[in-house]
Structure 1
C-alpha cells in the first residue's frame, strides 16, 4: 500500500470514533454468518473479503516512515524514531506530542538534536522585540 494511501486511511480512522475498525469487523463477520445461514456463497464471500480488508487496514494503516532516516515507525504509538531519535511531529495524523516524556524513554543524543532544531527557530538572546540590546540598563530615559 502506498504511503499516501496509508496516511489518508489513517486520517479517516482518526477522524472517526475509536471503535470504527472493530465495528466494521463485527459487521463483516455478521455478513459472513448471514451468508452461511442463508446458504448464499456470494454474501458469505463478500463478508469474508471485507473482514480480510479490515484486518489488512488495521495492520498497515498505523505505520509510516521517519522523515529523517526513512525507517518504518508506528505513527500512532511512537513519539521518537527508534533508529535516529528524531521527533515524529511532522507525520500526518500523528497524535500531539507531550513534552513531559520520561528521560529513560528518550533516545540517546536527543537533547543535541532538539537544541539544533530550536536554535534555527528562536532568535539570538541579544535581540529583543524593540530592537534594543539585551544588556541595556532599564533606568535610562529616552530623549525625544
Structure 2
C-alpha cells in the first residue's frame, strides 16, 4: 500500500497510523451510495460534509439545497473521485447514522470541494459556515 499524506496531516505517518477513534480516519471506499454518501470497507457510512447532491431517485429532500445536476451524474462523479480509493478523512460530526467528513482522495483532491466545483453538488451553507470546505 502506498503512503499518502493529506494536507492536514502534520507529520509523515502511514495510512495505518490514522486514529480511527479521533477526528482523522482512513476510508477504503467499498461503494458509492449517491452523490454525497459512500461506504468504507469497514462498514462506516460517510456523508460528505457541507455538500448537497440530488438523491438517487432524482429528488431533493424538503429543506435541503437542490443542485441542478442529476442524481445519476452526481453519483457517477463521486465514483470517479473516490470509488475504490483510500481516502484521508476528517470527521466533522454525524448525520443519520453516518459520519460526516471532509475527505481527500489518493491524488490529494478534496472530494467535497471537487463535487461542488464540478457542478454535481452544491455547498450546504448551513454546514459550510460551521466548518468550510474548499479551503486549500
TM-score normalized by the length of structure 1: 0.21
Q: Which protein has greater RCO, CA pairs closer than 8 Å, 6+ apart?
A: 2
TM-score normalized by the length of structure 2: 0.22
Kindly indicate which of the two structures has a greater share of residues assigned to strand. 2
Kindly indicate which of the two structures has a greater share of residues assigned to helix. 1
Q: Which has the larger radius of gyration?
A: 1
